[in-house]
């Protein structure tokens, strides 16, 4: 079967669906091609802290009704060193800026639910997706579904298919430069039907390793402990998990309610950037181009800021035949990506125990946390990065 559209979007994760909603709202034709089904995409548990840029994008797309009702505004966070914590007030340090706690799964549900009304079309269960003619002005996307072969001719391809997708792999190795760091530990995370230990997040540096107390709602907690990457979920009963979490949270664990876990998984930590984020008429956005370790919850937010920048370029190109903004996409997006990579790497380095952490390294971490506790200037640096750096004007 033959199809035709202006922008082919590969992947229906946050990057692909946000882009599709944004393009359709501006009157640009697009089609989303997704390898899996909706339940799979929506079911993946990821972070849950939205920057203002992301909240603004959802509002502009008319997708913020539930977010306004159910999202939790957080004006600060706690940092803890060996069981004793202090608060950083984002709002005071940044002139009133805050973040919104709202799970990525909820964002995905809102994006999928609104798709039919917003004229966003998604092909699910597309097999063997392949891109070709990307360095011509008539790129082609092919896939198989129900034993039929489909061919989609388009003007541009948006590669929003995540770290393992086909888009980045379609760029010749001679063009692409990649930068990568794999961290020597994982995050073991649970979701529990129990009220969170505090009303804001707690990032804990303990000599036994990192812990994070987060939440999804006033009755649902999200907790993580740093663990060896070789550990398996079966090694960690709920009791063992909570015992370790309580030690690492120290004083802040007094109100810990040990609800049974309803989800438990181990995630690796990686910093990764691919440059450039464009080849011919293919443009990468989100995890297809970059990965951050989850400390600071920048993954989804970076996907959203890529989409804001890319959509401007695609809309100008498709509706006005003006490619100036599109030609700046990769450079502009990468400037923001690298700053978020830096922040996520720094926050990870400050709060985790590395296998080669020496006594000196450990004292330096504690000194830096103490400096953060005392210095308004240091707090402002953390806060302005945490709530999200402003988007460059076009």
CA–CA distances in Å: residue 208 to residues 119, 123, 247, 354: 51, 46, 9, 10
Shortest gap between Cβ of 359 and ligand PHB (angstroms)? 27
Q: How far apart are CA 136 and CA 140, in angstroms?
A: 10
How crowded is the C-beta side of 198, counted as CA atoms within 13 Å? 22
Which one of the listed residues 74, 206, 290, 352 is annotated catalytic? 74
DSSP character string of 226-276: EE-TT--GGG--HHHHHHHHHHHHGGGGGG---PPEEEEEEEEEEEEEEE-
Shortest gap between Cβ of 18 and ligand PHB (angstroms)? 19
Shortest gap between Cβ of 246 and ligand APR (angstroms)? 28
Q: How far apart are CA 256 and CA 223, in angstroms?
A: 11
* Residue bearing tokens 């039907």: 193
Stretch that binds ligand APR, among 77-85, 114-122, 158-166, 317-325 (CB under 6 A): 158-166
Q: Which of residues 209-268 bind ligand APR (CB under 6 A)?
A: none
Q: Which of 103, 139, 159, 165 binds ligand APR (CB under 6 A)?
A: 165
DSSP 8-state assignment for residue 294? S
Q: How far apart are CA 191 and CA 214, in angstroms?
A: 9
294 among known catalytic residues: yes
Cis peptide before 276 (omega within 30 of 0): yes
Shortest gap between Cβ of 145 and ligand APR (angstroms)? 11
295, interface contact from ligand APR, ligand PHB, none, CB < 5-8 Å by kind? ligand PHB
Shortest gap between Cβ of 189 and ligand PHB (angstroms)? 7
Distance of alpha carbon 136 from the chain centroid: 31
The angle at the Cα of 79, spanning 76 to 81, to the nearest 5 degrees, equals 165
Which one of the listed residues 102, 183, 203, 329 is annotated catalytic? 203
Which one of the listed residues 196, 223, 294, 352 is annotated catalytic? 294
203 among known catalytic residues: yes
51 lines the binding site for ligand APR (CB under 6 A) = no
Residues of this chain that interact with ligand PHB (CB under 6 A) are 47-49, 201, 212, 214, 222, 294-297
290 among known catalytic residues: no
Asked if residues 21 and 114 have their Cβ atoms less than 8 Å apart, the reply is yes
Q: Which of residues 3-32 bind ligand APR (CB under 6 A)?
A: 10-16
How many residues lie near ligand APR (CB under 6 A)?
29
Closest to ligand APR by CB, 3 vs 353, is 3
298 among known catalytic residues: yes
161, interface contact from ligand PHB, ligand APR, none, CB < 5-8 Å by kind? ligand APR
Q: How far apart are CA 118 and CA 140, in angstroms?
A: 25
33 lines the binding site for ligand APR (CB under 6 A) = yes
36 lines the binding site for ligand APR (CB under 6 A) = yes
Closest to ligand PHB by CB, 259 vs 276, is 259
Instruction: List 30's β-bridge partners, or say none.
Output: 7
CA–CA distances in Å: residue 158 to residues 29, 106, 239: 13, 23, 45
Q: Under the rule (CB under 6 A), what is the footprint of ligand APR?
A: 10-16, 33-36, 41, 46-47, 104, 126, 129, 160-162, 164-166, 286-288, 299-300, 303
Q: Give catalytic residue positions.
A: 74, 203, 294, 298, 386
């Amino acid at each position: 079967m033959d199809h035709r559209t202006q922008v082919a979007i590969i992947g229906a994760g946050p990057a692909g669906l946000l882009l599709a909603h944004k393009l359709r709202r501006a009157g640009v034709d697009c089609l989303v091609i997704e390898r899996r089904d909706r339940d799979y995409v929506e079911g993946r548990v990821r972070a849950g802290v939205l920057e203002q840029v992301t909240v603004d994008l959802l509002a502009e797309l008319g997708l913020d009704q539930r977010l306004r009702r159910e999202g939790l505004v957080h004006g600060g966070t706690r940092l803890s060193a060996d069981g004793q914590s202090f608060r950083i007030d984002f709002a005071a340090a940044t002139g009133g800026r805050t973040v919104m706690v709202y799970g990525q799964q909820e964002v995905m549900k809102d994006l999928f639910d609104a798709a039919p009304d917003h004229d966003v079309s998604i092909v699910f269960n597309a097999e063997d997706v392949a891109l070709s003619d990307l360095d011509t002005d008539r790129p082609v996307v092919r896939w198989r579904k129900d034993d039929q072969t489909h061919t989609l001719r388009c003007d541009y391809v948006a590669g929003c298919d995540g770290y393992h997708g086909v888009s980045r792999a379609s760029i010749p190795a001679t063009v692409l430069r990649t930068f990568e760091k794999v961290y020597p530990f994982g995050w073991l995370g649970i979701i529990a039907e129990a009220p969170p230990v505090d009303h804001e997040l707690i990032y804990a540096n303990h000599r036994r390793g990192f812990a994070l107390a987060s939440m999804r709602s006033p009755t649902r907690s999200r907790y993580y402990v740093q663990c060896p990457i070789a550990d398996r979920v079966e090694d960690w009963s709920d009791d063992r998990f909570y015992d370790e979490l309580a030690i690492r949270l120290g004083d802040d664990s007094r109100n810990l309610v040990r609800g049974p876990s309803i989800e438990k998984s181990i995630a690796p930590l990686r910093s990764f950037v691919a440059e450039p984020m464009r080849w011919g008429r293919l443009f990468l956005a989100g995890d297809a181009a970059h990965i951050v370790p989850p400390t600071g919850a920048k993954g989804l937010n970076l996907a959203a800021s890529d989409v804001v920048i890319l959509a401007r370029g695609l809309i100008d190109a498709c509706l006005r035949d003006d490619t100036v903004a599109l030609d700046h996409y990769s450079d502009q997006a990468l400037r923001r990506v690298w700053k978020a990579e830096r922040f996520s790497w720094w926050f990870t380095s400050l709060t985790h125990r590395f296998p080669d952490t020496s006594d000196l390294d450990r004292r330096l971490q504690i000194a830096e946390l103490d400096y953060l506790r005392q210095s308004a200037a240091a707090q402002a640096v953390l806060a302005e990065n945490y709530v999200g750096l402003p988007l460059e004007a076009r």
